[in-house]
Amino acid sequence: MADLISRLKDPSSLVCGVAASMADKFEWSCLWTRVVCAVAVFCNPAMGLVIYFVLALLLPKWEKQC
């Protein structure tokens, strides 16, 4: 369990860069951002996939404005 938590906290260790970028943008915990994203995808996979792609397209635009 400790290995899973340490892996979720590390922004560079997982493929899911959207959750890590979102956590960095809004200064949230990377661990809890990924946990919430995982729960959302588990509850509704189709909507989670749509939201993931929308955020993947929007996050680069957010980064340019900063």
Q: Are 62 and 26 in contact (CB under 8 A)?
A: no
At 35-57, the pLDDT tens digits run 888 888 889 889 888 887 887 78
Between 24 and 59, the more confident residue is 24
Here the tokens at position 51 are 């939201």
CB-facing half-sphere around the CA of 9: CA atoms within 13 A: 6
Q: Are 47 and 55 in contact (CB under 8 A)?
A: no
pTM over 0.75: no
pLDDT at 15: 56
pLDDT at 12: 65
Cβ atoms < 10 Å from Cβ of 39: 11
> What whole-number distance in Å separates Cα of residue 19 and Cα of residue 32?
9
Residue type, 53: F
